[in-house]
Structure 1
Amino acid sequence: MLSKKDYWENLDDFFSHTIDLIEMLDLKKNWIGVDPKKKLLSELDEIKKIINEQIDFNEKGGIFFNKRYGSKDSNQLNDTNIPSLLIEQEVLADKQETDLANKKKVKEHLEINDSDQIEPLLLQDIVIVKDAIQIDLEENNKIEQENFGKDIKEGQLESQNNNIEALNHSYEEKTDNPTGNISPSVQLYTPEVQEKKNESITQTFNSQLIELGKINAELLNNEINNINNKDQDVLVGETNEQQAQKYSNQIISNIDIKKSNNKSVSKIVPPKMTFSIANGKIKESYKEKITIKENIEIEILYESINFSENNIGLSVEDSFIVGVPQKMGSFVINFNYKYQDNVYKASVNLVIVADPKDLWEVNEPAEDSLFPKEHEFYKTIKFNNNQNYKIIAASRRGRSHEHNGSFRDDHFDYEILEHDPSLVILSVADGAGSAKYSREGSRLATEQSINFLSHKLASIQAFQDLEKYVFEESHTSEINKSIVANWNTASIQLFREATDYAMEKIRQKVENTQSSFRDFATTLQIVIVKHVQDKRFISSFWVGDGAVAVYNQEKIRLLGQTDGGEYVGQTVFLSPNLEPFHQYVSITIASAQDWLFLMSDGISDPYFETDTELSSLDNWTKFYNDYKEVLNSDIDGSHLNEKIHFFKKGHHDDRTLLVLLPHNEPNLSLTVESFTDV
């Protein structure tokens, strides 16, 4: 037969073992939700707390009254009456008080001087005191407590155990207080009545023990399918109640074994770990592993992985998360990992970012905007007159202008002279993004300069004399040197006059709009090609960024250089102050098989990000290989228009590309052009 002290200590160990079992089974099977488990553990803890707060033992194992609270008004106590402890109300106990302190409390409480009279009290069983504690809480919130003749404040702490609460109502037996020496809050009982109360408390806690045993048995039943056949056979034929009773008896009689088992089933607390996984991009192939920041040896159990959402396009293959994400956003990946032979749960966030192209909006400019311009424009021409060549060009609004709802600032134009088909004029301009009418400035610069040159070129003798060039002789021969010198001088003069004419047209627009010349700021590239036999005499004017180049597989020639401004991202624009003017003019002689490129910086910057790359033959060969197929096969320029709509991070400007290339289809003269209106 267990002593009272052993009984209560065993009950305390039973609570601890029950809590450990709940934690272990929940971790393994996730059999209970967070809220129900929390409530269950909270109730167990409250019962434990009440026991610890209300009960203590003397040196001989006897139970005496509440460790902290008791009546302070009692003067004496006879041998048949002892003070009782209020179990109904939850109180905060000082667990560090010693038996000596408890004896002192009894002595002070009952005003007993003889220590021999105190010791028998400490050997007595627990008794009940009503109204020993008054808790001062909010006023005006009173409730009527059954069997008491007074109100107590609402919020007074109550026991979480309904069985214990019932004890106070079932066993309250007041005695008379004829002497008036005992405090009104202390009730006196006979030993017989007290013994009944102690037996009732024991029965009540035994009942609670059985209920907890049933819970454990139910948990064990949930595990039957996961244990070996030998263990399963042991449980066959037993009901839940039988298992609960058996289990409870084992806990009480074998508490030392339970303590050792508690230690063996306690899991190692894993160190703090930071899990992460690389971001993915929607509709792009993904293959990554879960990693940890800390240098800790663990094993990710990839077979346990599940995703917070279905149909995101990812799965687990060969310890990798793979697939092509179909949704963007943040998704939770739940998984298990093994650390020191124990399995734990964890999760990590996977972020699938949007395709940058999908983030760009397409907005239209205001309908009442001045100088509207089509968003896309492209055209091509194939010409045969002893010099077979093809001219193809496309210009389109960049994503930045689409997003902002503004017009295309780029422009291009070209013309084959009717009275002299050996002469071809080509031009590309890029309006300044910060100038509100630069779209009109680029149009005027290209169209008006070509308009001027088409009327002027036929009368320039130096260009006619290019047909007298003697290719059989060295370029340093006197006749050839003279022809080239006159050609160079004429080109500089001609380009000056052409640009002056274009700027005059821009000034007229400035006056009409009451704006400034800066509002029409633009770069400008002009190229004049004179076909002679199987050669091309090329004159160029180039101010601003972009690129003008003659290419073959053995050589790249830049017909000028990019002009940078005072700050990064700036450039030089067409103006009357371009001096010395000749530095913007170049001439060269090329083969009829060479390719001639004119482009705005919307094309050149993504392909040639530095001046070194712009001068590199290898880089130009890559560019040529990327475009040669579409340039050769495109009939009207529409394919080129789509080709230049490529995506490269950080490069979203307007794009214009104009190319003159050799064409070997005889007896063909065809011009096709198209555009997309605003």
Structure 2
Amino acid sequence: MSIVFVDKKMNSGYPQNTYIDLFCLILNKGNPNLCVRKNYNIDVIEFSKREDVQKLTDCYKQELKNLWKSRKKQFKATSAKNNLPTLIEESSNHPLSLEKNVSSVAQAVNPHNRSIDTMENTKIIFRLQNAKIGESYSAELQIQGETDHKKVVIKKVSFPDGVGLSAVAPDFRKIIGSPLKDGECKVLVDYQFQDASSDRPMMTTEFNLFINPDPKSLWQKKEPDPNAPYPKQNEDKELLQSNDNRVIVAASKRGRSHEHSGTFRDDDFLLAFEHEWDIIAVADGAGSAKNSRKGSKLAVDKSVEYLKNSLTTHGEKIEQEAKTWFSNQSGSQHPVKSLLYETFGRAAFAAVKAIEEEAVSKNANPKEYSTTLILAGHKKLSIGHFFAAYWVGDGGIGVYQKGKEIHLLGEVDSGEFAGQTRFLDKQMMTPEEIMKRLRFTITDNFTSLMLMTDGVTDPEFETDNNLARLQKWDELWDKLEPMLTNKDTVASELLKWLDFWSPGNHDDRTIALLY
């Protein structure tokens, strides 16, 4: 049996190439010259691949075989499906070829956008943009291979149970939901072409949608080795009552990086209220120093202990010199800072000394106990609120008045590279270095004195320069203020807040407030 497609046949009243005359010669033992001619009064698409032509050829070969078997020598049939009138005629003029020399040629256009069955061999590919677990999802189904001549009608889009996504009727091209499972998700699409015949079976294809996991779920929470030296609680909080119905509150939480690796929290803090002075210390042990958790604890404990005792001796003198300076603020700060040197400066030195003594007792290098330190004090005077601080390392401290001003009590120690800073050690204990790091200010009123380690300042302020921007402090206060109204729960609420998610910021977090 052979089939030859003859193209570019002119038919009256129709443009060239809109018709194909299909000449089918069926060779049979009884009648080799019987020719069945069928005029296909339909438009067909232009073929771009030889294998598509061959598929169409094979399709009609099979149809004619079946027809011949049912009619034997002479037959007359009408295919309602394809509107194909049948003409029986005798002829010996049509080209013949054997099965092994089948020649298939089809070339035509589809000027009226009519669909034929060969469209179902067109390769259609479905895609969806990636989703993320727990986040609202809305996306249009992308269909590669669809054109104006090959419109796809989607009948159904199926997702695995429990994925949390669905297709929106009636065209099922929009996918919405909130993914509940991460990983690769197999999506099934049932579809047809727009003008496909009614008895054509539904086509089904599948593709993979990738649902990204919640980054939080990738972090493990491991407990530190209880037998390791210098154990420390994973979190801590404290509240102290101050004067004028103010409170001092602090919270500290182990960072996700430490939770993931099963190591101890390196941050620490200490609060005190002594001789009408509010005293706050926060410290951040260096992550690269294996005993820094002990270094930070020694720093806050020993500096606060020394400061409380020294304020007993020098507190009144500081008040007097502060009042003198306040009456003539163009004058030198040296008398006040000299007294701060004897109190806050020597308190920092006491911390350094305690760290070195601990290192010697353990036959270790003091650098293994490296830590930052911010030590602050406040007292209400007749002239206003007096604040003083010593600051080495990163983090931040500021006297904040909502919507009006921010007074930074020091500068960030930044290294040559991101994440580098200075630590509390003997090199920081020269008179010049101590005086450089001492700050004080006097204000009529304030909203809060805030101290933070870099686990808070890095995500909240992003850059060191932003510490000087009032807008950034206002934005932080807007987050904190709602949880500060109830003083019975403020410490716990502050601790919960420290668990906020910030991509790339997973260090320990400590914050202390006087408000």
TM-score band w.r.t. shorter chain: 0.7 to 0.9
Q: Does 1:628 align with 2:477?
A: no
Query: How far apart are the structure 2 equivalents of 1:212 and 1:432?
Result: 94
- Please state if 1:615 is matched with 2:468: yes
Question: Per-residue CA shift, 1:255-313, capped at 9, x if unaligned?
Answer: 99xx9999994524887676432211212211111235789658886752322412311
The partner residue of 1:463 within 305, 318, 332 is: 318
Counterpart amino acid of residue 158 in structure 2: F
Q: Is the aligned partner of 1:374 residue 2:227?
A: no
Evaluate the alpha carbon distance shift between residue 253 and residue 597 of structure 1 in structure 2; reply closer, same or farther with a 3 A threshold.
Answer: farther
Which of residues 152, 158, 166 is equivalent to 1:307? 158
Query: Which consecutive unaligned segments of at least 5 residues does structure 2 have?
Result: 1-24, 39-54, 73-78, 95-103, 109-114, 197-201
* Whole-angstrom CA distance in 1 between matches of 2:141 and 2:460: 36
Letter of the 1:290 partner, please give it: L
Relative distance call for 1:546 and 1:6 in structure 2 (3 A) is farther
Match among 178, 182, 185 for residue 324 of structure 1: 178
Describe how 1:17-96 pairs up with structure 2 within 5 A. none
Partner residue, 1:438: 292
Instruction: Say if 1:607 and 1:623, in contact at 8 Å, map to a contact too.
Output: yes
Aligned to 1:189: none
Q: What's 1:540 paired with?
A: 389
**Per-residue CA distance 1:360-386 (angstroms, 9 max, x = gap):** 1110112210000000100112233xx
Inter-partner Cα distance in structure 2 for 1:9 and 1:415? 113
Structure 1 equivalent of residue 438 of structure 2: 585
Partner of 1:575: 425
Q: 1:285 to 1:206 in 2, by over 3 A?
A: closer
1:555 equivalent to 2:405? Answer yes
Q: Higher Cα Rg: structure 1 or 2?
A: 1
**Structure 1 counterpart of 2:474, which letter?**
T
Contact persistence 2:159–2:165 (CA under 8 A)? no
Q: Which amino acid aligns with 1:560?
A: G
The alpha carbon displacement at 1:208 in A equals 12
Does the alignment pair 1:279 with 2:130?
yes
TM-score, with length taken from structure 2: 0.73
Given residue 417 of structure 2, which amino acid in structure 1 is its aligned partner?
Y
Q: Distance in 2 between matches of 1:373 and 1:5?
A: 98
1:438-489 CA distances to partner (integer Å, 9 max, x unpaired)? 0000000011000111111111153242575597x5534xxxx47x532122
Q: Which has the larger share of strand?
A: 2
Residues 152 and 194 in structure 2, CA contact (< 8 A), matched pair in contact too = no
Q: Which amino acid aligns with 2:301?
A: E
Among the aligned pairs, what percent are the same residue?
31
Q: Is the 8 A contact 1:392 1:631 kept in 2?
A: no
Structure 1 counterpart of 2:350, from 472, 490, 501: 501
Question: Given that residues 462 and 486 in structure 1 are in contact (C-alpha distance below 8 angstroms), is that contact kept between their aligned partners in structure 2?
Answer: no
**1:390 aligned partner:** 247
Provide the C-alpha distance between the structure 2 equivalents of 1:206 and 1:611, rounded to a whole number of angstroms. Answer: 84
Q: What residue in structure 1 maps to residue 495 of structure 2?
A: 641
Distance in structure 2 (CA, Å) of the matches to 1:445 and 1:322: 54
Q: Distance between the aligned counterparts of 2:190 and 2:477, measured in 1?
A: 53
Q: Which residue of 2 aligns with 1:595?
A: 448
Counterpart of 2:459 in 1: which secondary structure?
A: helix
RMSD across aligned positions (CA) = 4.2
Q: Which segment drifts farther, 344-353 or 622-631?
A: 344-353
Equivalent of 2:334, from 485, 497, 504?
485
Structure 1: which 5+ residue stretches go unaligned? 15-40, 49-204, 214-219, 232-246, 662-678
Deviation, structure 1 residue 424: 1.8
Give, in whole Å, the separation in 2 of the partners of 1:533 and 1:403: 50
**Is the contact made by 2:374 and 2:389 (CA closer than 8 Å) also made in structure 1?**
yes
What's the offset of the Cα at 1:493?
3.6
**Aligned-residue offset at 1:359:** 1.4
> How big is the shift at 1:614?
2.1
In structure 1, the partner of 2:260 is: 403
TM-score, reference length from structure 1: 0.57
1:670 corresponds to: none
Distance, in Å, in 2 between the alignment partners of 1:293 and 1:492 is 73
Whole-Å separation in 1 of the counterparts to 2:175 and 2:504: 30
The aligned counterpart of 2:329 is 475
How many Å separate the matches in 2 of 1:510 and 1:251?
A: 107
Q: Check conservation: 1:298, 1:337, Cα contact below 8 A.
A: no
Contact 1:529 1:536 in 2 (8 A): yes
> Given the superposition, is the C-alpha separation of residues 261 and 412 from structure 1 closer, same or farther in structure 2, using an over 3 Å criterion?
same
- Select the residue among 415, 432, 446 that pairs with 1:565: 415
Q: Distance in 2 between matches of 1:391 and 1:575?
A: 28
